[in-house]
Chains A and B, each alone.
Chain A
């Protein structure tokens, strides 16, 4: 069955860095667009970043552009999000999600990892 397990979250000070990982199994990882979507405590869903199946294309929300970098390793069935210059407003649960193409829904989500940015 499809599984996606996020890791790497935790408490970090403002200005700090963190690298999130998402380990995928149960589907052909290299066939799917992969995305990060976040949810601040008690708030709604916000798309953060996406990467195409071959890593040729990447997209970022304006709120994270220049600070976050998405990448994937198809040989390891893994998705990553390198986060730098973290701010308090980046505090959220970060979900990885897959979609067949860019113009498709997020058909499966991981359980999320919590990132807390605080001094």
Chain B
């Protein structure tokens, strides 16, 4: 089973600032890595797939990078609606499909 580890657990950021979230896989997942955003009481929403491709309707301030075992999600200028929990997930080696434990982005 591939273990996904996200850091930090919580990120405190002021509106307008940049946020950088990290995700590490226990073995290579190539570029088969997705990022999801989840707001309280809502279902997760796909943001990024293929490590760096934005899903339909996702603003350009969200960007993803990395390959193999190290990945990054960057939010270039945080808006109020971006404060949420973000999860990475690998779909390279399955089953199981595995998620990181999440990074909460909160208002500083």
Contacts and interface: CB of A to CB of B under 8 A. Distances in A.
- Answer yes or no: do A and B interact: yes
A44 B46 CA distance: 15
Contact of B101 (A44, A47, A104): A44
B7 interface: no
The size class of the interface chain A forms with chain B is: 20 to 34
| Interface of B (DSSP majority class) | loop
Interface in A55-82: 59-62
A109 B97 contact: no
Contact of A105 (B49, B95, B100): B49
Interface stretch (B12-20, B69-77, B84-92): B84-92
B99 A109 contact: no
Interface string B18-50: 000000000000001010100000111110010
Given A105-B49, A109-B43, A109-B44, A45 B95 contact: no
Contact of A61 (B42, B55, B95): B95
A73 to B, nearest CB: 22
A106 B98 CA distance: 12
Contact of B87 (A45, A60, A62, A111): A45
Interface of B: 32, 34, 36, 42-46, 49, 55, 87, 89, 91-92, 94-102
29 contacts: A35-B97, A44-B99, A44-B100, A44-B101, A44-B102, A45-B36, A45-B44, A45-B87, A45-B89, A45-B99, A45-B102, A47-B96, A47-B97, A59-B94, A60-B95, A61-B95, A61-B96, A95-B43, A95-B44, A102-B91, A103-B32, A104-B49, A104-B91, A105-B34, A106-B34, A106-B44, A106-B97, A109-B44, A110-B43
